[in-house]
Amino acid sequence: MKIGVLGAGRMTEALASGWTRAGHDVLVGGRTPGKAADLANRIGARAGTLREAAEFGDAVLVAVLLAGLDGTLRAAGAPEGTLAGKAVIDATSPRPGIWRPWRSSSSGCCSPAPTRCPSSPSARWRNADVLQRPPSREPAYSCASRPSRM
């Protein structure tokens, strides 16, 4: 599977290194090209721009701090449709208590069910709930190796 990654931090390293070891083709894009290239080299992936990573992947991991999410999605071309029709794994890292209004379910809690993001309405978003996973909910990143579960 081709997986594009937006972000070059610790979450990317943890997830993408497993994906490359499992034989997936991974392209890492980051706001700092040198950091993305260094990480890609360490984990056996390729490096590129944020837009290249978004266009590359059948699935796209978004692993950035919440404060950088809007800028990252713009740089990745999400408003122009680069994520259209793709499975997007949201592993953004908000502080506890931060509500993600574009990803909330009708019950008011973050849900791992497919949701939509205003900057890319046709992408299939999965909330990985890296900090605040409701009990008994399987995080999206654990099923990323099984495309049928996306």
pLDDT tens readout for residues 18-38: 999 999 999 999 999 999 999
- Find all residues with CB under 8 Å of 15, minimum gap 6, and list them: 5, 61, 63, 91, 141, 144
Structure tokens at 89: 């794994």
Categorize the per-residue pLDDT at 63 as very low, low, confident or very high, splitting at 50, 70 and 90. very high
Q: Is the pTM of this model over 0.85?
A: no
* Backbone φ and ψ of 99, nearest 5°: -95, 135
pLDDT > 90? residue 61: yes
pLDDT > 70? residue 52: yes
Structural domains of the chain in order of their starting residue, each with its CATH number = 2-149 (3.40.50.720)
pLDDT, tens digit, for every residue of 78-130? Answer: 989 899 888 888 888 655 544 444 443 333 333 333 344 555 555 555 555 54
Rounded-to-integer distance, Cα 135 and Cα 19, Å: 25
